[in-house]
Structure 1
Amino acid sequence: MKIVVVGTRGIPNILGGVETHCEELFPRIAAKGIEVTVVRRQSYVRDSLMEFKGVKLLDIATPRRKSLEAIVHTFRAIWMARKLHADIVHIHAIGPALLTPFARLLGLKVVFTHHGPDYDRDKWGRMAKWGLKLGERMGCYFANEVIVISEVINDLIIRKYNCCNAHLIHNGVPIPDIVEDTFYLDELGIEKGNYILTMGRFVPEKNFHQLVHAYSAISRNSCRLVIAGGADFEDDYSRNFKRLAKENGVVLTGFIKGKRLHSLLTHAKCFVLPSSHEGLPIALLEAMSYRLPVLVSNIPANLEIGLNYDSYFKVGDERQLTEKLRKMIQGELRRIDYPMEEYDWDRIASQVIHVYNRLR
């Protein structure tokens, strides 16, 4: 069986939730003897790899403009999939799913993974939101099989499109890589157990600015705020946010993976995710795998994970965020054992392969 994956910026070590999803999932599928090719956006690639853990990598040039790059890249990638005689094209995210009918017209079978209603993100204008909603519709109506990563998304597409046969397959998280060494903490000038951690892209819906406001309202003598991530595209929000963070003594690491990120996850006092929009946040699952106390907004995707009441605050409520964050900082250092069985990537890979086998 030959699978061509489109809709992601690429793998490995490329910022983004879909990218992390694909980096974990497709090597496991390739290890089962399935031929997998991930089509990457050349402008994001910082390596010369042609293969990663058994997954073939194919780079295609696309315009580096957030309103055009996904759709142009997906068109070229689907055309390439036809040339490669793919058995299945696996499209990720609702923007690229706009071209699901095109893939079907070329005679390709399509699996579409819905990672979340991206039209709810603040960064998109009216026309972009319309295009994303249309992409969601095209994916749900024309894909041979639909995968959703959360029950929230499943309920959404049932209500909107009467799409009742989607496969619920969650995001996953790998086994944590505990890093006892504090070399990276020393490099950042932070102390073990004395920092708040969050991670993600610098976009409005992550609400990192609200977290900085809450942090600045708390006595910060012994606790720092560390934000791991960056911006895909520098804009007014990301520039203003970086200035706000610098003014309030926040540690910005930039985009990191591997041992440095694992070190931060190992030694953090707590993890905070104040987002107003998520599909099923891999960053939160990763923090849970490291047994960190977490504080997250009460959006549906976070509520679905089923944390205890004290782990949630009302989305957008900076006052409540501040009070709950203060309690976490003032409390003792602790670790929590969360039930993580359903977020196992090996199990998830087997579930996706089952979906592929339905199309044979």
Structure 2
Amino acid sequence: MHKPVVTIFYQFNPWHTTIGGIQTLISLFIKYAPSEFDLRLVGTANDRCQPTMKWQKAEFAGREISFLPLFILENDNVRNLIPTTVKYTNALLGRCFASDFMHFHRLEPTLAAFNWQGEKTLFIHNDIHTQMQTNDEKKAILWRRFPAAYFALESLLVRQFDQILSCNSDSAELYRQRYSSMGDRIAYIKNSFDNEIFYSLSQQERETKRRELALKLGLVPETRFILFAGRLHPQKDPLLLVRAFAALNESHTHLLIAGDGELATKMRAEIGRLSLTERVTMLGAINQIELSKLHRICNVFVLTSAYEGLPLVVLEALASGTPVVTTRTGETPKLLTDDSGVVCSQRTPESIADSIRQVLLHPEDYPSVSCVQTACPYAACTVISDIYREMLNRWELRTFSAVSS
């Protein structure tokens, strides 16, 4: 009996670091896939040395996969005039990559898959309806200029899916209301973090390594670190974070910004305008191993997003024993406990600064063990294994039914 084939569709190259929770989640689906499945990824190439439109065997995270890059995408951290999703969708049109299971992480590419046979799953990573209504930044998503067109496209395409899985419970409920006849196909799904990479240290180890980082950066040993990690994109609103840090005005604090994106230049200008150059370090894009080291030694992780699903980086911070300060958006406020983080009352610099100050001045109220306990149910080794087990059960049932008939 042949193995069931899972084909994952997304515009990235897993061997080339790009910033984003979708990329991280797909990497986890590859890493933690059981041997009972054959994996295929339809992605992109990052340079001209890699042939496009050709299947190739490769290894990722110790797992053999078949990889087909549709076109060359050198840097997806910064948006181009033509959205990458449009290029990706166009490259899929007229082709057929049907398989036993097909996982899509954006709606638009499924235009090409409408007539493909096999079990199709759409993963929803943001609350798209809230995202469309946010007024802060019209460039955050191109569809916000044409919301009626998006929802018409969604209505056309959504019925082809056997499953719609959202990491935001409000979004899942909205989809159930919008497509009531598909209610049994729509479900909330836990996002997950790689528990082999993100884990906590003892308090003594944590303090030692925090002091080492302070000295490395030329700061006083008592420096307390505030961390942000993610794409420098209007959705994450990192400019609000910089303004909140200015409003914090606490001595011996330093802001670390890990990430890259279209707002990088504006952020450097804002950091200079607020006279924060000596108190903020922009690290650029860093890999997961380096990020995990920062999570383990920082005093607080801060998220200032305008809209979210459930950011993986929040789970990664908590799993590393670091409390989280977040705006009231996405699934994070429902996840945090009183002793693992703070939800800001308003999306203003002053409110965010007050919440950060609360954590910095009272670290005993947010112990590492509480943070780790909050993240524990979201460990990839459990969450993703459960998903694959259910997939295998459905495939075996279908196969048995086909043989019996």
Matched, 1:22 2:26: yes
1:111 is matched with which residue: 97, 106, 121?
121
Distance 1:323 1:106, change over 3 A: closer
2:13 pairs with 1:10? yes
Tell me the equivalent position of 1:52: 60
**Corresponding residue of 1:201:** 231
Task: Tell me: CA distance 1:293–1:18, structure 2 relative to 1, closer, same or farther (3 Å).
Answer: same
Supply the distance in 1 between the matched residues of 2:112 and 2:249 (Cα, whole angstroms): 56
Q: CA deviation at 1:317?
A: 2.5
How far the C-alpha of 1:173 sits from its partner, in A, is 1.3
1:206-265 Cα offsets, whole Å, 9 max, x none, are 12212211211233431101111111xx3xx44212321354231111111233212211
In 2, Cα distance between equivalents of 1:252 and 1:80: 42
Q: What is the SS of the residue equivalent to 1:251?
A: strand
1:213 equivalent in alignment to 2:243: yes
1:323 aligns with 2:354: yes
Worse-matched range after superposition: 266-275 or 315-324: 315-324
Q: Which runs of structure 2 are paired with 1:263-302 in the superposition (5 Å)?
A: 263-302=293-332
Percent identity between matched residues is 18
TM-aligned CA distance change 1:339 to 1:325, over 3 Å:
closer
Are the equivalent residues in 2 in contact too, given 1:274–1:297 (CA < 8 A)?
yes
2:164 to 146, 158, 169: 146
In the alignment, the residues of structure 2 paired with residue 335 and residue 151 of structure 1 have an alpha-carbon distance, to the nearest angstrom, of 26
Cα gap change, 1:99/1:213 in structure 2, threshold over 3 Å: closer, same or farther?
Answer: closer
Q: Which residue of 1 aligns with 2:403?
A: none
Deviates more, 1:124-133 or 1:251-260: 124-133
Residues 1-360 of structure 1: matches in 2 within 5 Å?
1-12=4-15, 13-29=17-33, 31-43=34-46, 50-53=58-61, 54=63, 55-61=65-71, 65=80, 67-77=82-92, 82=97, 86-93=99-106, 97-118=107-128, 119-120=131-132, 122=137, 123-125=140-142, 126-127=144-145, 129-130=147-148, 132-134=150-152, 136-162=154-180, 163-165=182-184, 166-175=186-195, 176-177=198-199, 186-189=215-218, 194-231=224-261, 234=262, 237-246=263-272, 247-249=275-277, 250-308=280-338, 311-332=342-363, 334-337=367-370, 338-353=373-388, 354-355=390-391, 357-358=393-394, 360=398
**Structure 2: segments with no counterpart, 5+ residues:** 52-56, 74-78, 399-405
TM-score normalised by structure 2 residue count? 0.76
**Partner Cα separation in structure 1 for residue 239 and residue 92 of structure 2:** 36
Partners of 1:292 and 1:336 within 8 A in 2: no
Q: TM-score, normalised by structure 1?
A: 0.84
CA contact (8 A) 1:5 1:37 kept: yes
Bigger Rg, which one: 2
- Quick one: which amino acid aligns to residue 51 of structure 1? E
Structure 1 residues 21 and 192, CA, compared in 2 at 3 Å: closer, same or farther?
A: farther
Q: How far off its partner does 1:199 sit?
A: 0.9
